[in-house]
Amino acid sequence: MVLLRALTKSAFLLSVLSIVCVTPQAEENSLPLQVAKAYGLDSFSLVGKIKYTFNVTFNGKTISRSWLWDIGGGRVTMQLPGSEAVSYTRGGSPDTSSENIRKADAQFINDQYWLLFPLHLAWDASSAITVAADQPVPIGTGTATRVTITFPAAGGYTPGDAFDLFVDKSNHIKQWAYRRGNAAAPTRTSLWEENRRVGPLLVSLDRPGADSTFRVWFTDVAVQLKGSNDWLLPQ
């Protein structure tokens, strides 16, 4: 279950209870499941490791965090500019004896969710998902099919938040909106641009906001398949 809320003084965090890679909760042949499949859901089991750098600019401040995620082993390594790497094993739940690890895990959840947002349409079993056709997009003009993910009103750090994904006829996300507390008006919006194949996954590498004050983007993205030592780069 992933719940977005806070733009803190030091980071833009998606707060969560957990990440689960389980049987898809979206109904078979539903649009949410088709969107997840378009971004590589059916082939995710082939992925052994993912590495990437999450970058965000918000109100003049830029933050970058680099990650290596050993999916099978549950091992996560975070590298911040000018700091020593933090490495830990997630498993069912990460070791929370260290404040550094607790903080790193929250940041990992945030950044991984940004990278693989469409797959969570299938993974996040406690969310409610609705679909509405011909809805106005939040940035610019035009319409798209809106897929809305709403999280429970209780539990987690930021309960009750909602996300709107604006999907085209190819089941690709064109725009995104976050609505804090399921408010009617978006709290934050962005485009989804530079869609690239990275191994079996499709990833949007650039998420510019409605103006220059906000942008999320990914660099140094690569995927290593199980049984291989080669890193596959965006194509």
Residue 157 within a domain: no
Q: How does 106-130 read in b/e, with b if 16+ C-beta sit within 10 Å?
A: bbbbbbbbbbbbbbbbbbbeebebe
Element (H, E) at 168: none
Query: Tens digits of per-residue pLDDT, 61-118?
Result: 999 999 999 999 999 999 999 999 999 998 655 555 678 888 898 899 889 999 999 9
pLDDT of residue 196: 98
Structure tokens at 54: 């999450």
Residue 159 within a domain: no
pLDDT of residue 15: 38
Q: What is the 3-state secondary structure (H, E, C) of 26-95?
A: CCCCCHHHHHHHHCCHHHHHHEEEEEEEEEEEECCEEEEEEEEEECCCCEEEEECCCCCCEEEECCCCCC
Residue 149 within a domain: no
Residue 14 within a domain: yes
Residues in the chain: 235
Element (H, E) at 99: helix 99-115
pLDDT of residue 19: 41
Specify the number of domains making up the chain. Answer: 1
Residue 107 within a domain: yes
Question: Which residue numbers in the chain have pLDDT < 50?
Answer: 1-24
pLDDT of residue 99: 81
Residue 218 within a domain: yes
pLDDT of residue 164: 97
Spatial contact of 126 and 119, defined as CB atoms under 8 Å apart = no
Residue 178 within a domain: no
Element (H, E) at 101: helix 99-115
Task: Record the pTM.
Answer: 0.86
Spatial contact of 136 and 142, defined as CB atoms under 8 Å apart = yes
Structural domain containing residue 15: 2-125+195-225
Residue 131 within a domain: no
pLDDT of residue 5: 47
pLDDT of residue 16: 39
